[in-house]
Amino acid sequence: MTSKTPIMKSGPLPIAREGYPFLLISFVLTAAGSWLFWPLGILFGAGFLFCLNFFRDPSRTPPEDSKLLTSPADGTVLKIENFETGPYLKEPHQKVSIFMSPFNVHVNRIPCDGEAKEIHYFPGKFFVASLDKASLENERNAVVIQTPKGAKVAFVQIAGLVARRIVCYLRENTPVSRGERYGMIRFGSRMEVSFPPEWKVLVKPGQKVFAGETGLAEMN
């Protein structure tokens, strides 16, 4: 299942378009600082390199196995939990929490084929994303997808201590495809993915995962 047009268009370079203003400003500051006072050039140059690294947007190829629910974010698996109900899925489910450091790729991708049924944005605080309370108290954006077989998958972008801007280009009742770019979180954050309890989890705490490529679970 594919959308007629990309949800989040990629740029001519492997850099997220959302990073262009930051790269331009930091580059100008680097050039001006180098001209006026070389230590400033080094300082601003480090900022430019940080932005270049943060907004990188490498191409990703989803695994051939269509039954795999792929990670929507790069990062490290924090924990895997089971719930009888939750704020987004009102039914038993499993949840995988992923911590995204400022050095991870921050472009987020759709974890499975289906249709975006619900999108909920919640303003909130900015606790460190690795803390459990960040899950319900920080700024966040939740998407609920219904798969072609009728199962529901929820994935939540959660802002962190440094992250101050959640970007989501999805709209409700939009068909989506696994691996498709749909948004990002600026400067460090957390992603939580909830899915049916009968699906087999394929990751473990401490494991590194990559958006659009790493299988989190095997769908039924």
d(CA 28, CA 48): 9
d(CA 23, CA 108): 20
Q: Are 62 and 70 in contact (CB under 8 A)?
A: yes
Q: Residues 6 or more apart from 143 whose CB is under 8 A from it?
A: 116, 118, 119, 154, 155, 156, 168, 170, 182
Does 189 participate in catalysis according to the annotation?
yes
173: left (phi over 0), alpha (psi -120 to 50) or beta: left
- The single residue of 26, 71, 97, 189 carrying the catalytic annotation is 189
Q: Are 57 and 109 in contact (CB under 8 A)?
A: no
What tokens appear for 26 in the block? 């930091």
Active site residues: 189
